[in-house]
Protein backbone atom coordinates (compact mmCIF):
# COMPACT_ATOMS: atom_id res chain seq x y z
CA UNK A 1 0.00 0.00 0.00
CA UNK A 2 1.26 3.44 -0.87
CA UNK A 3 0.87 6.50 1.30
CA UNK A 4 0.21 8.63 -1.81
CA UNK A 5 -3.44 8.91 -2.83
CA UNK A 6 -5.17 10.01 -6.01
CA UNK A 7 -8.20 12.23 -5.38
CA UNK A 8 -10.45 12.68 -8.41
CA UNK A 9 -13.71 14.42 -9.35
CA UNK A 10 -12.77 17.47 -7.27
CA UNK A 11 -14.78 20.66 -7.55
CA UNK A 12 -12.57 23.16 -9.40
CA UNK A 13 -12.71 25.70 -6.58
CA UNK A 14 -11.28 23.33 -3.93
CA UNK A 15 -7.71 24.14 -2.87
CA UNK A 16 -4.88 22.57 -0.94
CA UNK A 17 -5.99 23.98 2.44
CA UNK A 18 -9.48 22.49 2.22
CA UNK A 19 -8.14 19.08 1.17
CA UNK A 20 -5.52 19.17 3.93
CA UNK A 21 -8.30 19.73 6.50
CA UNK A 22 -10.55 17.06 4.99
CA UNK A 23 -7.86 14.36 4.82
CA UNK A 24 -6.62 15.37 8.26
CA UNK A 25 -9.70 13.57 9.63
CA UNK A 26 -8.06 10.28 8.62
CA UNK A 27 -4.61 11.10 10.01
CA UNK A 28 -1.51 13.21 9.50
CA UNK A 29 -1.21 14.69 6.01
CA UNK A 30 2.32 14.98 4.60
CA UNK A 31 1.47 16.91 1.43
CA UNK A 32 -1.38 18.02 -0.84
CA UNK A 33 -0.89 18.86 -4.51
CA UNK A 34 -3.90 20.08 -6.52
CA UNK A 35 -3.06 19.69 -10.20
CA UNK A 36 -3.51 22.91 -12.18
CA UNK A 37 -3.50 23.89 -15.84
CA UNK A 38 -0.09 25.46 -16.54
CA UNK A 39 -1.48 28.11 -18.87
CA UNK A 40 -4.48 29.28 -16.82
CA UNK A 41 -3.65 28.18 -13.26
CA UNK A 42 -7.16 26.70 -13.00
CA UNK A 43 -7.55 23.46 -11.06
CA UNK A 44 -7.87 20.38 -13.28
CA UNK A 45 -10.25 18.49 -10.97
CA UNK A 46 -7.81 16.09 -9.33
CA UNK A 47 -5.08 16.09 -6.70
CA UNK A 48 -2.54 13.93 -4.92
CA UNK A 49 -2.51 13.65 -1.13
CA UNK A 50 0.27 11.94 0.77
CA UNK A 51 -0.52 10.58 4.23
CA UNK A 52 2.04 9.85 6.97
CA UNK A 53 1.45 6.08 7.15
CA UNK A 54 0.00 3.30 5.04
CA UNK A 55 -2.70 2.77 7.66
CA UNK A 56 -3.78 6.41 7.50
CA UNK A 57 -3.85 6.25 3.71
CA UNK A 58 -6.09 3.17 3.88
CA UNK A 59 -8.33 4.91 6.41
CA UNK A 60 -8.61 7.97 4.12
CA UNK A 61 -9.64 5.75 1.19
CA UNK A 62 -12.23 3.98 3.33
CA UNK A 63 -13.69 7.19 4.80
CA UNK A 64 -13.44 9.62 1.87
CA UNK A 65 -14.03 7.59 -1.30
CA UNK A 66 -17.49 8.66 -2.56
CA UNK A 67 -17.49 11.54 -0.02
CA UNK A 68 -19.69 14.42 -1.20
CA UNK A 69 -17.75 17.68 -1.60
CA UNK A 70 -19.16 20.70 -3.39
CA UNK A 71 -21.89 18.58 -4.97
CA UNK A 72 -19.44 16.01 -6.32
CA UNK A 73 -18.65 12.48 -5.22
CA UNK A 74 -14.89 12.18 -4.66
CA UNK A 75 -12.85 9.30 -6.02
CA UNK A 76 -10.06 8.38 -3.61
CA UNK A 77 -7.68 5.52 -4.29
CA UNK A 78 -4.03 4.58 -4.18
CA UNK A 79 -1.99 6.67 -6.62
CA UNK A 80 -0.42 4.63 -9.40
CA UNK A 81 3.04 5.52 -10.69
CA UNK A 82 3.12 7.37 -13.98
CA UNK A 83 3.97 4.87 -16.75
CA UNK A 84 7.40 5.26 -18.27
CA UNK A 85 7.16 6.45 -21.85
CA UNK A 86 9.31 4.92 -24.55
CA UNK A 87 10.62 8.32 -25.52
CA UNK A 88 9.12 8.23 -28.99
CA UNK A 89 6.32 10.70 -28.23
CA UNK A 90 4.50 10.46 -31.55
CA UNK A 91 5.86 13.79 -32.74
CA UNK A 92 6.65 14.89 -36.27
CA UNK A 93 8.99 12.75 -38.28
CA UNK A 94 12.02 14.49 -39.72
CA UNK A 95 11.95 12.36 -42.86
CA UNK A 96 10.50 13.79 -46.04
CA UNK A 97 7.58 12.14 -47.76
CA UNK A 98 8.55 10.06 -50.74
CA UNK A 99 5.41 11.10 -52.61
CA UNK A 100 3.39 14.33 -52.67
CA UNK A 101 0.36 14.68 -50.36
CA UNK A 102 -2.01 15.67 -53.19
Provide the residue ranges of all domains of the chain, joining segments of one domain with +: 4-77
- What is the reported pTM? 0.79
Residue 50 to residue 73: CA distance in whole angstroms: 20
Determine whether domain 4-77 maps to CATH 3.30.565.10: no
Residue 64 to residue 19: CA distance in whole angstroms: 11
List Cβ<8 Å contacts ≥24 apart for 88-95.
Answer: none
Within 8 A by CB and 6+ apart from 102, the residues are: none
pLDDT in tens, the chain (102 residues): 689 999 999 999 999 999 999 999 999 999 999 999 999 989 999 999 999 999 999 999 999 999 999 999 999 999 998 787 765 655 555 556 666 666
Position 14 scores a pLDDT of: 95
Position 81 scores a pLDDT of: 84
Amino acid sequence: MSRKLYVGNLPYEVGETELHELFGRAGAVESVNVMRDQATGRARGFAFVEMSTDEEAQKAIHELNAFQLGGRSLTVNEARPKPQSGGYGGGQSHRRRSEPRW
